[in-house]
A and B are shown apart, each in its own frame.
Chain A
Amino acid sequence: MAVLIVDDSRAMRSLLRHILKDAGFAVIEASDGQEALECLQRCREIDLVLVDWNMPGMDGYAFIRAVRAAPAYHEVRLMMVTAEAEIEQVSRALAAGADEYIMKPFTRDAVLEKLKLLGILPH
């Protein structure tokens, strides 16, 4: 199973990559929404995208809206991974089509538990 990590911070991508690789996923990375859309087009094996909100160029919110507007990707699960931590933002992300939301900073266990909630990892 492949996971796409989208974040403009190299350190954050690396942190998430380690967590996901240890959990047995193949990992692909992009540093903004536009690049992430291109990855989705190229790689049909992507089942899950972890996406940052604030990025230069296309941000995570616009990315989620773009993915949800494309019927070809309706089975792709989307999780927002962001320092944005207000109820309104969580609600906006969910309304735009995010399946889950995790706030930075997070622990490894918290990420894995979210993947269980999404049914991507077994409990």
Chain B
Amino acid sequence: MDTINSSDFNYIRDLVRRHSAIALEADKAYLVETRLAPLARQAGLASLQELIGLLRIQPTHPLHRQVVEAITTHETSFFRDIHPFDALKNTILPALLTRRHSSLTIWCAACSSGQEPFSIAMLVREHFPALVARQIRIIATDLSGAILARAREGLYSQIEINRGLPAALLTRYFDKQGLHWRIKSEIRRMVEFQQSNLAEPWPLMPPADLVFMRNVLIYFDVDTKKAILSRVRNILKPDGYLFLGSSETTLNLDTAFQPISLGKSTCYQLRQSKTP
């Protein structure tokens, strides 16, 4: 096993932070070792040290991006944590449908391999077919070009299909392709994928009725979380809803958001401004 010295670790930590804002704590050396050693081997290099040596002298080498990719956690599943999806179905979408007369915009930030936006799309098609006709935009973004390419394919392994996806939805919205399963184009077409780094200027986004930004803020330092939440504030409609991951919160980060309990999930809404 390659072990990493502190100067190499700091170099990787800075590289990862520069590209993704992901903050590697000092105790994550083992993670860097286990994730980068295979990358070094794949690249035909003898060791982790050699990989880092090459990164240092070739600052534009594609391996920089691959390092970030290897360090990033893409863990996700269909209908992850289920409660936010129950809240969408039981409360939020019915409420938005009565309040809105034009189209709805949902932004799924840090969408990984697509299970999250596709879960929303299947839920809408199952329970709110009228909304599909009335136009719903589901915009799904992620930092990683490689993971977005997978998401656009909509092709899942059996292991991924076994996780969180009700069998009834599997039969309605997927086709078997060899050993994999491909999401049907009626669902695929409902989601627009775009590459975007949450920590850098965002592409022009339409005002959002609903933002899913789950299991990504945890990787950032406090200042980055604050900066991102303040930008969410600007693109969320005044009566829109924000979902974070089940271990994430706006508390102590941004007082403009108010936690709201919906069933077993918590979402956040902007406090109404008190101007007379």
Contacts and interface: CB of A to CB of B under 8 A. Distances in A.
Interface of A: 85-87, 90-91, 93-94, 98, 100-103, 105-107, 109-110, 113-114, 116-117, 123
A123 B164 contact: no
Interface of B: 77, 79, 81-83, 158-159, 161-164, 166-168, 170-171, 174-176, 264
Contact of B176 (A87, A102, A107, A117): A87
A114 to B, nearest CB: 8
A87 B174 contact: yes
Nearest to B86: A123
Task: Return the 3 tightest CB-CB contacts between A and B, nearest first.
Answer: A101-B167, A110-B162, A91-B171
A113 B167 contact: no
A107 B162 contact: yes
Contacts of A109: 163
B162 A102 contact: yes
Contact of A103 (B79, B81, B161, B166): B161
B186 to A, nearest CB: 15
A86 B175 CA distance: 9
Given A103-B158, A103-B162, 10 more contacts: A87-B171, A90-B167, A105-B158, A107-B159, A107-B162, A107-B163, A110-B159, A113-B164, A117-B166, A123-B81
Contacts of B161: 103
Contacts of A94: 167-168, 171
Contact of B167 (A98, A107, A110): A98
Contacts of A102: 162
Contacts of B81: 123
Contacts of B170: 87, 90, 101
A123 B176 contact: no
A86 B163 CA distance: 17
A113 B77 contact: yes
User: Which of A100, A107, A113, A116 has the most B CB atoms < 10 Å from its CB?
Assistant: A113
A94 to B, nearest CB: 6
A91 B168 CA distance: 8
A118 B42 CA distance: 42
A85 B167 contact: no
A87 to B, nearest CB: 5
Contacts of B175: 87
B264 to A, nearest CB: 7
A116 B82 contact: yes
A106 B162 contact: yes
30 contacts: A85-B158, A85-B176, A86-B176, A87-B174, A87-B175, A87-B176, A90-B167, A90-B171, A93-B167, A94-B167, A94-B171, A101-B167, A101-B170, A103-B158, A103-B161, A103-B162, A105-B158, A106-B162, A107-B159, A107-B163, A109-B163, A110-B163, A113-B164, A117-B79, A117-B82, A117-B166, A123-B81, A123-B82, A123-B83, A123-B264
Contacts of A100: 166-167
Contacts of B167: 90, 93-94, 98, 100-101
A123 B164 CA distance: 11
A52 to B, nearest CB: 16
A117 B120 CA distance: 16
B162 A117 contact: no
Nearest to A100: B167
Contacts of B164: 113, 117
A86 to B, nearest CB: 6
Contacts of A113: 77, 162-164
A57 to B, nearest CB: 25
B40 to A, nearest CB: 28
Nearest to B79: A117
A116 B77 CA distance: 14
